[in-house]
Amino acid sequence: MAGFTIKDVSKVYGGSVPVETLTNINLTVEDGEFLSILGPSGCGKSTLLEILAGLQLPTAGEVKIDGRKLHGTGIERGVVFQDPSLYPWHTVEQNVELGLELRGVSKAERRAISQKYLDMVGLRGFEHKYPHHLSGGMRQRAGLARALANSPEVLLMDEPFGAVDHLTRLQLQDDLLQIWETEKKTVVFVTHDVSEAVFLGDRVVLLSPRPGRINQIFKVPQKRPRKRDDIELLKIQNDIYAAIHEVKSQEDLEFTI
């Protein structure tokens, strides 16, 4: 497993009118933790995840993984986006095996690994289907299997269930938690859904509207398996909604002044 130390991270996009997306982010992600990052659209949560993935550089500050300064992408980090971006000319099995093939893993070993994770995400029997034969939820499962097949220590997930229907989303949440408890990965999960963030996470980091800064961090101490109607989870959700409302009220006041 691996954890992150994020120190004084800010991100400004250049141009004729520079846009500050993140400002002064300080956060530690523990080994094996399931951390939810929550915030409104445009608050920089996806940007923060891309910085952790090594896909973007911070304008200021630094990120360390297991005490080492992060430089670019690495196989110890697997990324799952809202769009799984499967290659349409490859079968599900071929998509899952792609990273292994690029690393020179033998065909027999690739097949064994891909089958393990396709079984784990519930896609047994769909190995030879093409992405257009799959539902949105199944494509997302295939994307998760592809990320897991490379045996990353960290899963970075950017609103991975945002494009599926509500019932499929609930099932994918349950499946993800089961996989997390089996694989013991560190997970950083970006969402704009309060109930999802609380149900999944050990902690929920609430970002303010742009420029994103850490508004508050909520601990979710309830043991798993959790029930979505658990009164303690609902209390935490209400606390988060109250924090969001307070930020919105302050913004409205500042705008009026």
Of the listed ranges 22-26, 37-41, 57-61, the least confidently predicted one is: 37-41
The pLDDT, as a whole number, for residue 252 is: 52
Three-state SS at 214: strand
Looking at the domain assignment, is residue 197 inside a domain?
A: yes
Looking at the domain assignment, is residue 48 inside a domain?
A: yes
Looking at the domain assignment, is residue 38 inside a domain?
A: yes
Q: What is the distance of C-alpha 253 from the center of its chain?
A: 33
Q: Which residues pair with 35 in a beta bridge?
A: 188, 203
**How many domains does the chain fold into?**
1
What percent of the chain has a predicted confidence (pLDDT) above 90?
81
Looking at the domain assignment, is residue 28 inside a domain?
A: yes
DSSP per position, 28-63: EE-TT-EEEEE--TTSSHHHHHHHHHTSS--SEEEE
pLDDT over 90 (residue 48): yes
249 band by pLDDT with thresholds 50, 70 and 90: low
Looking at the domain assignment, is residue 202 inside a domain?
A: yes
DSSP per position, 135-178: -HHHHHHHHHHHHHHT--SEEEEESTTTTS-HHHHHHHHHHHHH
The pLDDT, as a whole number, for residue 254 is: 41
Buried b (16+ CB within 10 A) or exposed e, 57-77: ebbebebebeeeebeeebeeb
**Residue labelled with tokens 């769009």:** 83
14 band by pLDDT with thresholds 50, 70 and 90: confident
255 band by pLDDT with thresholds 50, 70 and 90: very low
pLDDT over 50 (residue 256): no
The pLDDT, as a whole number, for residue 214 is: 96
Looking at the domain assignment, is residue 138 inside a domain?
A: no
Looking at the domain assignment, is residue 94 inside a domain?
A: no
Domain extent, residue 196, equals 1-76+155-162+192-233
What pLDDT digit, counting tens, does each position of 123-166 carry?
999 999 999 999 999 999 999 999 999 989 999 999 999 888 89
User: For residues 42 and 209, is the Cβ–Cβ distance under 8 A?
Assistant: yes
> How far separated are the first and last CA of the chain, in Å rounded?
48
Q: What is the mean pLDDT of residues 42-66?
A: 95
List the strands of the sheet with 60-65, edge to edge: 19-29, 4-13, 60-65, 68-69
Of the listed ranges 1-5, 54-58, 249-253, the least confidently predicted one is: 249-253
For residue 189, the surrounding DSSP H or E stretch is strand 186-191
DSSP per position, 57-85: --SEEEEEETTEEP-S--TTEEEE-SS--
What pLDDT digit, counting tens, does each position of 168-199 carry?
999 999 999 999 999 889 999 999 999 999 99
Looking at the domain assignment, is residue 96 inside a domain?
A: no
The pLDDT, as a whole number, for residue 96 is: 95
Kindly report the CATH number assigned to the domain that includes residue 69.
3.40.50.300
**Residue labelled with tokens 């149900």:** 199
**Residue labelled with tokens 């071929």:** 94
Mean pLDDT of the chain: 92
User: For residues 194 and 178, is the Cβ–Cβ distance under 8 A?
Assistant: no
Segment 230-234 long-range contacts (CB within 8 Å, at least 24 positions apart) = 233/198, 233/199
Confidence (pTM):
0.92
pLDDT over 90 (residue 119): yes
The pLDDT, as a whole number, for residue 246 is: 84
205 band by pLDDT with thresholds 50, 70 and 90: very high
253 band by pLDDT with thresholds 50, 70 and 90: very low
- Count CA atoms closer than 13 A to 29's CA, side-chain side: 31
